[in-house]
A and B are shown apart, each in its own frame.
Chain A
Amino acid sequence: MSTINSPNTLREGPDENGHFGIFGGRYVAETLMPLVLDVEDAWKTAKSDPIFWSELEYYRKHYIGRPSPLYFASRLTDHFQGAKLYFKRDELNHTGAHKINNVMGQALIARRMGKTKIIAETGAGQHGVATATACALFNLECEVFMGAEDVIRQKPNVDRMRLLGAKVHSVTSGSATLKDAMNEALRYWVSKADTHFYIIGTVAGPHPYPQMVRDFQCIIGEETKEQMFEAEGKLPDTLVACIGGGSNAIGLFHPFLDDDVEIIGVEAAGLGISTKQHAASLTGGRPGVLHGNRTYLLQDNDGQITEAHSISAGLDYPGIGPEHSWLFETGRIEYVSATDNEALEAFALCSKLEGIIPALEPSHALAYIKNIISPLPKDHIIVMNMCGRGDKDLEAVIPRLEEMDLL
């Protein structure tokens, strides 16, 4: 706890038990504890081993395609007539999203542990595809748990996973979405402890996952810092990213936490916060314990977890990474939200003006930027994490845009 309360930095968490303030921790069954402790040991060892990092660096450069560009979005900037807008182009990574940054790191750890089989949960399928990809590359067996609802909604990604050699388990328990896929992956993991490694896709789950996933995603912010100095000779003024579990956001934000930079996370407001049909855990939830950590959750008066709703399957989760809950309560990061419709408008605008079809997830970030950018001075610099490409969303988006007369 002492590290976390240190006034000089917000970047040293979590403490040795995985707590960010009161958030985080290891709320798992005893049957899972030894597995979680093994992962922690392996992660600690890898972290201090230069060979591990140089190996990861090799794959980042030659396989993922890093560094991703920091791109000045000139037409959107002209359009908004306010601050300068930059995109960190993580949608250009291999497999089309930021997820692979984390997966590659965890797959290397699994290999170091001598594990031959990998489990993952997925919502939209991006993390599942990234995991199936790394498993193909490293010749690991791959099993992906996906809610039955999402298997139907995201068929192209299911086909990609199958093509890459993964087995997709369609999860019918509970509400048959991402949270249930995670429950099922955890249940499966317990019964396969000796052989399997669980690659969690976001900064949630029991310690050390929130920290480990964050550390693998921090490459986004580290590159941004360097690239921004090259482009503008200074720090950006504002960072904006969308938040479901929050891995792309923490990846961009974390390296800037101690700097004089405004940071904004955008949750999915679905049909609107007041309708309860949303996925905004911080804006519309309260602290609770699920999937191994204490964090803000959508829940009813009895502490039962409620359904999230977002047009973006990647944000459709009733929780959020524990470090975000902590940063929310400390006030360091401002958390706001954007609705389905606002995200759809931003989706269309970005496609037309920049020739970049964004995923629905970062469309939420752009939707919020749209609300604040115009009155800002011209030398104000905003960086948004373009964390995924939108091809996967076309089936859901096109009819909606037609309805809204945007296409």
Chain B
Amino acid sequence: MKTYKEDRLKLLFENLKKEKRGGLGIFIAASDPNLEISLEILKRLPQAGADMIELGMPFSDPMADGPTIQAASLRALKSGGSLKRTLEMVKNFRESDNKTPLVLMGYYNPIYNFGVKDFLIKAIEAGADGLIIVDLPPEEDEELCLPAQKYNLPFIRLTAPTSDGERLPTILNNASGFIYYVSIMGITGTQSIATQNVQNAVKELKKHTGLPIAVGFGIKTRQDVADVTSFSDAAIVGSAVVNVIEKSLDANGEGNDKTIADVLALVKDLAAGVRSKKIA
């Protein structure tokens, strides 16, 4: 059995510690607005300053996402996006980048439909470094979390403001890679974060786990990124990036060179945020 060995996430968080800064994670939906542009953006994200990439596997019914990422998912599917194609994108990305961690994020049905074992083998082969599957809570660990562990592939858990002391041990059991702290009660891209609350929550979370903690949902600006990485290990920006893609589309909904340039410009700006404040 060929298991996952690269440990790119672990190496990243070790390096960030040495550099005394937090990391920047960037989310894009694979094949949004089409394969060609999406792949070009993906390949150029590290150079623009993304430390880690979350590649969304498009799904028709993204239950935990706001209108922005829902629309991205539908654009991707309309342009021919599929789980198979997402895995091909990862493979393609790895041809030019063997360092930047790439985590696959999405919903369970396309994976279940693909076949869990087959998916794990192909994801590892392609060069993915972890999975974030939104609709698989610890109660359903047997589905994918435990099989992923057998292959040594990190299965990243989400915790939320409602994850209290009673709930946390259940969530943290079987967690690996890092912890994704969902900073708002709601869906992606809809509200802005209340930094102080998030800081308190991360502080509390650190008492329960030694894993790195990344914060996502509601992080939009360079300032947000700077604030959040002053007390956490990474900030993840999704909807703000996808928004830029949406805004750059022409009247027919087609992407263009401006799509790529605008996304990279935003990422550069956000990347300055993780380098502006040292971790205390």
Contact = CB atoms under 8 A, between A and B. Distances in A.
Interface of A: 17, 25-31, 33-35, 173-174, 179-180, 183, 186-187, 190-191, 193, 287-292, 294, 297, 299, 301-306
B190 A191 contact: yes
B173 to A, nearest CB: 13
Nearest to B163: A30
Contacts of A193: 162, 185
B253 interface: no
Contacts of B58: 304
A297 B171 CA distance: 29
Contacts of A297: 109
Nearest to B74: A174
Interface residues of B, number: 45
B40 interface: no
B64 A174 contact: no
A179 B159 CA distance: 26
A379 B164 CA distance: 61
Contacts of B187: 187, 190-191
B112 A303 contact: yes
Interface string B80-97: 001110000000000000
A86 B92 CA distance: 64
B210 to A, nearest CB: 20
Contacts of A305: 60-61, 109
Given A174-B61, A302-B82, A304-B77, A29 B137 contact: yes
A17 B139 contact: yes
Interface string B105-120: 0011111111000000
B169 interface: no
A31 B191 CA distance: 15
A34 B139 CA distance: 12
A183 B83 CA distance: 21
Given A33-B167, A193-B185, A303 B110 contact: yes
Contacts of B164: 34
Given A33-B139, A33-B167, A292-B135, 9 more contacts: A29-B137, A30-B171, A173-B70, A180-B61, A191-B186, A290-B61, A302-B113, A303-B112, A306-B60
B158 A30 contact: yes
Contacts of B109: 288-290, 297, 299, 303, 305
B136 interface: yes
Given A26-B139, A302-B82, A304-B60, A31 B110 contact: no
Contacts of A292: 135
B178 to A, nearest CB: 15
Contact of A183 (B63, B82, B182, B191): B63
Q: Which 9 A-B pairs have the closest CB atoms?
A: A303-B113, A191-B186, A303-B110, A304-B60, A29-B64, A302-B82, A34-B162, A31-B160, A30-B158
A299 B77 CA distance: 13
A179 B140 CA distance: 22
Contact of B67 (A27, A173, A289, A290): A173
Interface string B200-216: 00000000000000000
14 contacts: A25-B140, A29-B137, A31-B158, A183-B63, A288-B112, A291-B61, A299-B109, A302-B82, A302-B83, A303-B110, A303-B111, A303-B114, A304-B110, A305-B109
Contacts of B139: 17, 25-26, 33
A290 B62 CA distance: 10
Interface string B46-67: 0000000000001111111111
Contacts of A29: 63-64, 134-135, 137, 158
Contacts of B66: 187
B157 interface: yes
A304 B136 CA distance: 17
B135 to A, nearest CB: 5
A306 B59 CA distance: 11
Nearest to B184: A191
Nearest to B66: A187
A183 B111 CA distance: 19
A404 B10 CA distance: 68
A24 to B, nearest CB: 11
A252 to B, nearest CB: 30
A27 B135 CA distance: 5
A27 B61 contact: no
Given A26-B140, A183-B63, A304-B110, A31 B135 contact: no
A289 B162 CA distance: 24
A195 to B, nearest CB: 12
A29 B106 CA distance: 11
Interface in B116-135: 134-135
A341 to B, nearest CB: 29
A56 to B, nearest CB: 29
B110 A191 contact: no
Contacts of B162: 31, 33-35, 193
Interface in B171-225: 171, 182, 185-187, 190-191
A28 B82 CA distance: 22
Contacts of A302: 82-84, 110, 113
B135 A289 contact: yes
A302 B115 CA distance: 11
Given A174-B61, A289-B109, A34 B136 contact: no
A190 B159 CA distance: 13
Q: Which of A33, A191, A301, A306 has the most CB of B within 10 A?
A: A33
A292 B163 CA distance: 19
Contacts of A186: 63
Interface in B209-253: none
Nearest to A186: B63
A190 B61 contact: no
B140 A30 contact: no
B113 A31 contact: no
A190 B70 contact: no
